[in-house]
Chains A and B, each alone.
Chain A
Amino acid sequence: MNSLDPRVSRLPEIGKPGVILPKIPLDQFASFEVFVQPREGKPFQHEGIVHAPNIDMAYIFAKENFTRRFTCTSLYVAETRNVYVSSTTDGERNAYDLVADVSTSGVNDEYEIFHLVKRGKQHIAVGTVMAGSPEEAMSTARKMFNTKLVYNIWAVKRSNIRLTTPEELDLWTTLPEKRFRDAGDYKGGDKLKDFLDKQKLTS
């Protein structure tokens, strides 16, 4: 292709313009929910999703898709199918009021619980419960975390989460120094002032 972009000029010729060659259906991958801890001691919060073929790749994608710009201390991902979701409520209705009672199974799998406290905002981690099923996790969470109005609750079994390992915590150490991605690194004020002063002198 003859282009102003030298990268485009170098592209190989494939197929015909406007024609998508045959492909396997849905050549896009599973969805994974991404959670980031912005600061030490702060809870993890939901940031968005990545599509990936498996959880290891999801982690790699999530790291740059969601933590390349603003400082953070940790990250984890879970496949969307493994996030158990409550009903969503509105107004003064609490989502916990719709959570069914489940008797204790005695099984001690760890589940992470997330709350949506304001529609339009992120789900935020509130803590861990022990349970034998996601339904039981929700029921237990109601006893432990039902302190204020919540519009939606998520429960994710901890063994279904790809966590950041302790030795991986240095992944973000140079992030605060990547100033070229930071608006604060582009102060044109002095240059502009010099320019305007010079303009005044010449006019």
Chain B
Amino acid sequence: MYGGGNTFEGVKTDSVATEDPVLLAEFEARIARGEKIEPSDWMPQLYRKQLIRMIEQHAHSEIIGALPEGTWITRAPGFKRKMALMAKVQDEVGHGQLLYSAAETLGKSREQMIDDLISGKSKYSNIFNYPTFTWADCCFISWLVDAGAIVNQLANAKGSYGPYCRALERICAEESFHLKYGHHCVIYLAAGTQKQRQLFQEALNRWWPPMMHFFGPSDKISTHTEVLMRWKVKMGTNDEMRNQFLDMYVPKIWELGFTIPDPKLKKNTGTGLWEYTEPDWEEFKRVINGGGPCNQERLEVRRIAEERGKWVREALKSAKTTYVTPLA
């Protein structure tokens, strides 16, 4: 799982001008040939910085994303759902592990990343700052938030950084189970009792606005994004991702007879693009900056987990082995 709409730091593009022109040309030629960048390669500072930021945010989104669905682990109805949800939430933690490792190859330790998460310095996907009131909320995440994540991840898997691509390849393979499982859950709610249908409709009403926020606001095409796209760090605009998601999933939601709470939502057959009510970007900003219903709880849970695990980690730490940057 992964929340899109990464926030990229406003580094001035002229910082690239201070890089060695020969090395920079070699680096860009390698990407233009379609070859991936490996950790031991020379790379511009801007590239390194933005990738750390992006992969780190992705990793945090997995770790924090385990919490809203985790809310229902102890209450999943029946063996099949219980075992699947346990495995799914476990996968999210596993994805976090893979992504932290990929980010570590760029020179930031996992510990530092987790500290930055807890202190609020690093961000994660906004959507996980909303609560899962019912089982149906949990099903919404399993199906549609994961679907949105896959749209992003498939695009990013074509990016230029080798370790990130390798992690994403693994993650995408695992996500196919999440998506099928989530859809399965929602089909059963749709085809179920009046109460079950109502549960999902209510969840859809609650989660649609954050889902539209998920891909981030329209990107302003600046020289900065242009560089990131040329370096294959950013693989598509937020609007493109959102449109792709709507294309694939709105028909599936309608098929099940549910109403999407946006009267303006329709596909413009002329342009092939979806039209919708402009999401409330003030709300998006408010939540990113800590004002969402669950921001505080999510970080608290993570902090308490770290504090409770501290004696374990301290006891295990051995002078015989020391941390080194992972290889690939």
Q: Which residues of B contact A199 (CB under 8 A)?
A: 257
Q: How far is the CA of A33 from the CA of B94 in the complex (A)?
A: 16
B22 at the A interface (CB under 8 A): no
A129 at the B interface (CB under 8 A): no
B327 touches A49 (CB 8 A): yes
User: In the complex where A7-B74, A48-B166 touch, is A194 in contact with B327 (Cβ < 8 A)?
Assistant: no
A185 to chain B, nearest CB (A): 8
Q: Which residues of B contact A49 (CB under 8 A)?
A: 101, 326-327
B310 touches A181 (CB 8 A): no
Among A5, A18, A21, the one with the most B-chain Cβ atoms within 10 Å of its Cβ is: A5
Q: How far is the CA of A11 from the CA of B318 in the complex (A)?
A: 29
Q: How far is the CA of A24 from the CA of B165 in the complex (A)?
A: 33
Q: How far is the CA of A188 from the CA of B83 in the complex (A)?
A: 17
Q: Which residues of B contact A187 (CB under 8 A)?
A: 180, 184
A94 at the B interface (CB under 8 A): no
A120 touches B187 (CB 8 A): no
A80 touches B304 (CB 8 A): no
Q: How far is the CA of A191 from the CA of B187 in the complex (A)?
A: 7
> How many A-B contacts at CB < 8 Å in the complex?
194
B120 touches A18 (CB 8 A): yes
B20 at the A interface (CB under 8 A): no
B12 at the A interface (CB under 8 A): no
User: In the complex where A20-B115, A196-B255 touch, is A120 in contact with B321 (Cβ < 8 A)?
Assistant: no
Return the contact of B314 from the options A23, A85, A122 (Cβ within 8 A).
A23
Return the contact of B187 from the options A8, A48, A91, A188 (Cβ within 8 A).
A188
A50 to chain B, nearest CB (A): 8
Q: How far is the CA of A88 from the CA of B176 in the complex (A)?
A: 33
A181 touches B87 (CB 8 A): yes
Contact string against B for A residues 52-96, beta-carbon threshold 8 Å, 1 for contact and 0 otherwise: 011001000000010011100000000111010101101100000
B303 touches A182 (CB 8 A): no
Contact string against A for B residues 300-319, beta-carbon threshold 8 Å, 1 for contact and 0 otherwise: 11011011101001101110
B279 at the A interface (CB under 8 A): no
Q: Which residues of A contact B30 (CB under 8 A)?
A: 90-91
B268 at the A interface (CB under 8 A): no
A201 at the B interface (CB under 8 A): no
B177 touches A186 (CB 8 A): yes
A14 touches B304 (CB 8 A): yes
Q: How far is the CA of A54 from the CA of B301 in the complex (A)?
A: 28
What is the chain B residue whose CB lies nearest that of A81?
A: B324
Interface size class, chain A: 35 or more
Q: Which residues of A contact B109 (CB under 8 A)?
A: 26, 28
Q: How far is the CA of A121 from the CA of B167 in the complex (A)?
A: 10
User: In the complex where A48-B166, A65-B94, A80-B324 touch, is A8 in contact with B301 (Cβ < 8 A)?
Assistant: yes
User: In the complex where A24-B314, A180-B80 touch, is A79 in contact with B321 (Cβ < 8 A)?
Assistant: yes
A195 touches B87 (CB 8 A): no
B134 to chain A, nearest CB (A): 9
A5 touches B70 (CB 8 A): yes
Return the contact of B318 from the options A6, A47, A54 (Cβ within 8 A).
A54
Q: Which residues of B contact A28 (CB under 8 A)?
A: 109-111, 313, 323
What is the chain A residue whose CB lies nearest that of B35?
A: A119
Q: How far is the CA of A24 from the CA of B94 in the complex (A)?
A: 25
A119 touches B326 (CB 8 A): no
Q: How far is the CA of A49 from the CA of B39 in the complex (A)?
A: 14
A27 touches B111 (CB 8 A): yes
Return the contact of A1 from the options B300, B307, B328 (Cβ within 8 A).
B300
Q: Which 6 interchain pairs have the tightest Cβ spacing?
A: A120-B36, A30-B321, A5-B71, A195-B191, A186-B184, A186-B180
Task: Give B contacts to A, CB under 8 Å.
Answer: 30, 33, 35-38, 40-41, 67, 70-71, 73-75, 80, 83-84, 87, 90-91, 94, 97-98, 101, 104, 109-111, 115, 118-120, 131-133, 162, 165-167, 170, 173-174, 176-177, 179-181, 183-184, 187-188, 190-191, 255-257, 296-297, 299-301, 303-304, 306-308, 310, 313-314, 316-318, 320-328
* Known interface pairs A8-B297, A27-B111, A186-B181; 10 further A-B residue pairs with C-beta atoms within 8 A, sorted by A's residue number: A4-B132, A29-B318, A31-B323, A31-B326, A48-B167, A49-B326, A53-B316, A68-B90, A90-B30, A181-B84
